[in-house]
Chain A
Amino acid sequence: MDQKQVINCRQFAWLSAAILTGGGLTSVEQVLVRLGKMDAWGSYALASGYAVLLAYVFYQLARRFPGKHLFEITKLLFGKFIGTAVNLLLMFHLWTILIRDLRSLSKFVAVSLLPNTPDEIIVMLLMLVVMYYGKTSVEVVARVTDFFFPFFTFVIVILPLLLSNEIDKTLLQPVLSGQIQSLFFGNMISTGWFGDLFVMGAFLHTLQATRQLRSALRHGALLAALLIGIFLVLELLVLGPTIPGNLVFGNYSVVQQIHITDFLDRVDLLILSIWFPVSTCEMIAVYLALLTGIASLVKQRDYSTINSPMGLLVLMTSLLAFKSATEIFSFGNYGYPFFVIAYQPLLFLVIWLFSLRHPVRDRREQKQGQSSSASSQAEANETAQDDPSGASSEGGPSARTSRRPTAATNRTHANRGKRNPAPGFLQKLSYKAWGRSSNVLVVLNIACLALGLWFSRHYAIAGVICGVSYCVCSVLAVLTSYMELFHAKQQAQ
């Protein structure tokens, strides 16, 4: 296996989004609808904020430890013994994600496509696919996601159009009239699910430009929140606030409601053929992260050797972990989010605080430190060769002065020659301005929900206005985070 793995920021963003949407498609929405009722569409506001904070922590870690992944960083921060204990906790979390998704996806396949096939066989076939990709690196799964994710996004975006004849807007009304407490609990559950974003920490070393890393994580998380949000709104608009709370696969039930003509009566099968690869990519990414973590226990990066025993162990434990479908979804919807909320924010806060003791470093500086005898010409060549994304890490003031891009980085840069997609009057906005806009929009999302829930008791129109503002802010947050990513790519030149 190639020790050096490099993916670009678009692949990083889409892989992040696939990790968050892949698992969420087959579960979680049931409990969100039960809690939030007709206001369940606002369940991803806090989760988006949490993802933005997590992206900031990873950005700071990548600045201070360039070329290292999360498991290596925790060992450097906490030392051998505590670092290994923290890594074991993170690996346990990865294992729980894997068994949860493996079993829920197998149940989904059993219910929707193969009702007579034993569950064990479906899980085994899924795991063999995952093990096949386990021989490769994250680059491969990033490319597969790169291929399928645009189709996946397109399908979800056109779903409102396909379901337009089934939609009843009165099912969402009165808007934001529920209890604040219920919606808050729904937001906490979804925040637990968005904790899955930490999987990308295992691939921190694959994207050297730290600004791109932060922007990619933010864009991926906000895009995922929007896509799952669209699904939630459609579930409510088509099925109402009661039925989805009793459906295990509410998303699939919504898609089954597409009745355009007799010819297009089974569009759900077409859509499933796009969903399935994205969900599989999510599991593969989690599995690769788990392999990376286990290999890091013995200070190795090549995990291809342990792929087969680990894959078989995951297969066996996933089958032993749950006795029935009820247990799988009880774990995924209640126990798992609580477990994540209970430990992850605190752990990453501690990791961030410990990382502040270390100076901001640049990948190039690190290389200079390692090979002080090398000539400046050789260093320039080395940097150009080692940085195929054309991006150098950003750093402190000293790093900034030494980050003049070489001709090679300009030549290889993916964004070269691309026109700024922002409308005329917004083209002057800088990277920081777009970043701040995304942050403001995420905060506005939360504020819209709070204000709507507060004022709609007295004025029903206030709930509608806040609801519409929430939708507009969600879409704008995705667009601004995309522009942030665009400028991050340009600044790396």
Chain B
Amino acid sequence: MNNIFLLVFFFIVVITLVSDMKKMQSQHKSLKTLYVVLYTLTSAMFICMLLGIKFLPTYLFVNNLSTWVHQFLQV
């Protein structure tokens, strides 16, 4: 993964977190929870990317489903 991208992404995460802080105080509780959940997921993905762990369901599509459809269609 490109180092410039990783650095820029990290800064974008920090900047958006800081800029959203003020707005978050006046938000509904459920939205706040959703916001935290989504940021946690994003951070987890970022860490996975740094560690080279890949587990997304698209692999199931690409490796199994697409291959099967390709063979079925006899393209």
A354 at the interface (CB under 8 A from B): no
Q: List 19 A-B contacts (CB under 8 A).
A: A35-B75, A118-B4, A124-B5, A294-B38, A298-B34, A302-B31, A305-B24, A305-B31, A306-B38, A312-B39, A313-B38, A315-B9, A316-B9, A323-B54, A331-B58, A334-B67, A334-B70, A339-B61, A339-B65
Contact B45 A294 (CB under 8 A): no
Please give, as numbers and ranges, the residues of chain B lying within 8 Å of A402 by CB-CB distance. none
| Nearest CB in chain B: distance from A211 CB, A | 35
A289 to B66, CA, bound (A): 26
Q: Mark A326-341, 1 if CB is under 8 A from B, else 0.
A: 0100110111111100
Given A331-B58, A331-B62, A306:B2 Cβ within 8 A: no
Contact A316 B27 (CB under 8 A): no
| Nearest CB in chain B: distance from A30 CB, A | 9
Contact A298 B31 (CB under 8 A): yes
Q: B residues near A, CB below 8 A?
A: 1-2, 4-5, 8-9, 12-13, 16, 19-20, 23-24, 27-28, 30-31, 33-35, 38-39, 41-42, 45-46, 48-49, 54, 56, 58, 61-62, 65-67, 69-70, 73, 75
| Nearest CB in chain A: distance from B15 CB, A | 9
Please give, as numbers and ranges, the residues of chain A lying within 8 Å of B46 by CB-CB distance. 316
Contact B42 A309 (CB under 8 A): yes
A320 at the interface (CB under 8 A from B): yes
A315 to B34, CA, bound (A): 18
Please give, as numbers and ranges, the residues of chain A lying within 8 Å of B65 by CB-CB distance. 334-335, 338-339
A185 to B5, CA, bound (A): 40
A300 at the interface (CB under 8 A from B): yes
| Nearest CB in chain B: distance from A415 CB, A | 39
Please give, as numbers and ranges, the residues of chain B lying within 8 Å of A96 by CB-CB distance. 58, 61
Considering the complex, which residues of chain A in the window 283-338 have a beta carbon less than 8 Å from any beta carbon of chain B?
294-295, 297-300, 302, 305-306, 308-310, 312-313, 315-317, 319-323, 327, 330-331, 333-338
Contacting A335 at CB < 8 Å: which of B5, B30, B69? B69
A150 to B67, CA, bound (A): 38
| Nearest CB in chain A: distance from B61 CB, A | 4
A120 to B65, CA, bound (A): 26
Contact B31 A319 (CB under 8 A): no
| Nearest CB in chain B: distance from A66 CB, A | 25
| Nearest CB in chain B: distance from A152 CB, A | 29
Q: Is the interface of B mostly helix, strand, loop or mixed?
A: helix
Contact B62 A335 (CB under 8 A): yes
Contacting A320 at CB < 8 Å: which of B9, B39, B45, B62? B45
Which 6 residue pairs are nearest across A and B when measured between Cβ atoms? A309-B38, A335-B66, A298-B30, A335-B61, A120-B5, A308-B16
Contacting A336 at CB < 8 Å: which of B16, B48, B56, B61? B61
A316 to B41, CA, bound (A): 10
| Smallest CB gap from B41: residue in A | A313
Contact B9 A331 (CB under 8 A): no
A143 at the interface (CB under 8 A from B): no
Please give, as numbers and ranges, the residues of chain A lying within 8 Å of B70 by CB-CB distance. 330, 334
Given A305-B24, A305-B27, A312:B62 Cβ within 8 A: no
| Nearest CB in chain B: distance from A132 CB, A | 12
Extra contacts, 16 of them, besides A316-B9, A334-B67 (Cβ < 8 A), are: A96-B58, A128-B12, A298-B31, A305-B20, A305-B31, A309-B16, A312-B9, A312-B12, A312-B16, A320-B54, A327-B58, A327-B62, A335-B61, A335-B62, A335-B69, A339-B61
| Smallest CB gap from A185: residue in B | B73
Please give, as numbers and ranges, the residues of chain B lying within 8 Å of A90 by CB-CB distance. none
| Smallest CB gap from A310: residue in B | B38
Contact A308 B49 (CB under 8 A): no
